Amino acid sequence: MRSTHDHGTTDNIGDVTDATRATSALSTPVTARNRRRLTAVAAGVTAALALGGLSTVSAHDADSTDSARSESTRTAAAGSATAARLAVETTPIGFGAGTTGGGNATATTVISLDAFKTAVTGDKAKVVKVSGLFSLTGQVDIGSNTTVLGVGSGSGFTGGGLRLKEATNVIVRNLNLGKPRKPSDAITVQKSTRVWIDHNTLSADRDHDKDYYDGLLDISHGSDNITVSWNRFADHFKGSLVGHSDNNASEDTGHLKVTYHHNWFANVYSRIPSLRFGTGHFYDNYVQGAETGVHSRMGAQTLVENNVFRDTEVAVTTSRDSDIDGYAVLRGNDLGGAATEVSQTGGFTTPPYAYTAEPASSVVASVTAQAGAGKL
């Protein structure tokens, strides 16, 4: 049964345990699937030879229903893909491409919350390094043309978070953002464009009521051109909301274009992500212990590619909680036994940017080794 009363920022978690689990209507003939795999492999080999081992094509290998390769082959593929990642990305891949933040501005290192608040204001180009873990009530507004970078593996904020409101060209990297008390998210993005959220650890706990904390990363009010990469989301009910309300079509339609890649969602109950109206590319992510993963609603278009799901009830749904279903295309995923509820197959199959989607067989090794703060 679909709930129709969730038009705000909180999903009805009780509905997530609905006993009706529809499986995806998507199916690919074996011959077509084999042709697609062979084409992708051939292209990947050619690109690898040209670039010394790094493929620059999208890898569309088979879904979990076609996973008859031997364990030794899987292990070798995982090791090879992990070794191929020679360096941490210095620029965003995906819809957030072109985001530069503070660029080459001289960095300012802050060692107090007050100094941080002062350093991130205004729209002049700036790089602000956070040294230390600071308690925070509410949120700190981040100005445009800003890079916020944590120092080491333990710097960041707890109790509140950061807000990007009517900002553009912002990078947030290598921070620990923990236990954001409601109504604060760990990171809020509103009416903002060109944003890169990379290599952060965002977490809370599951010991309190689901509304005790707010979201870990919420993107709303027509925000656009955002990449969320190599982050660890952990121990939370509400992971990442894109589009805050069913009633906000006039502001959100045509916007909310977000790429999620190589993120690790560990013990996050839902919203991985929940996307209204926008366009989402979700590839090479590792999802553990979710009730629902990707949630496409209110006409949103999602491409769900080469992800791994473990201990998850429903990997992808397009038919919950809103009056209008979303759309989804699934390819190359390892569902790990999770159900899918795809009521509408989408038309978003080719992202408008260059990217490399490594096969699902290597995702767990890559993501667990490199996602989160302290990995830069």
Is pTM beyond 0.85 here? no
Strands of the 308-310 sheet, one edge to the other: 133-135, 156-158, 176-178, 201-203, 232-238, 264-270, 286-288, 308-310
The residue annotated as part of the active site, out of 271, 276, 320, 331, is 271
- The kind and range of the H/E element at 1 are none
Predicted local confidence at residue 88, as pLDDT: 83
Domain boundaries, the chain: 107-370
Predicted local confidence at residue 206, as pLDDT: 67
Q: Which portions of the chain are predicted below pLDDT 70?
A: 1-87, 206-207, 209-213
Predicted local confidence at residue 33, as pLDDT: 37
Predicted local confidence at residue 209, as pLDDT: 63
Predicted local confidence at residue 212, as pLDDT: 66
Using a 10 angstrom Cβ sphere, with 0-12 exposed, 13-18 middle and 19 or more buried, the burial of residue 234 is: buried
**Is 69 marked active-site?**
no
CATH of 107-370 among 2.160.20.10, 3.40.50.720, 1.10.3720.10, 2.60.120.10: 2.160.20.10
Residue position matching structure tokens 């929940």? 274
Measured N-to-C along each axis, helices 360-370 and 71-84 cross at an angle, to the nearest 10 degrees, of 50
What is d(CA 152, CA 193) in angstroms, rounded to the nearest whole number?
27
Using a 10 angstrom Cβ sphere, with 0-12 exposed, 13-18 middle and 19 or more buried, the burial of residue 133 is: middle
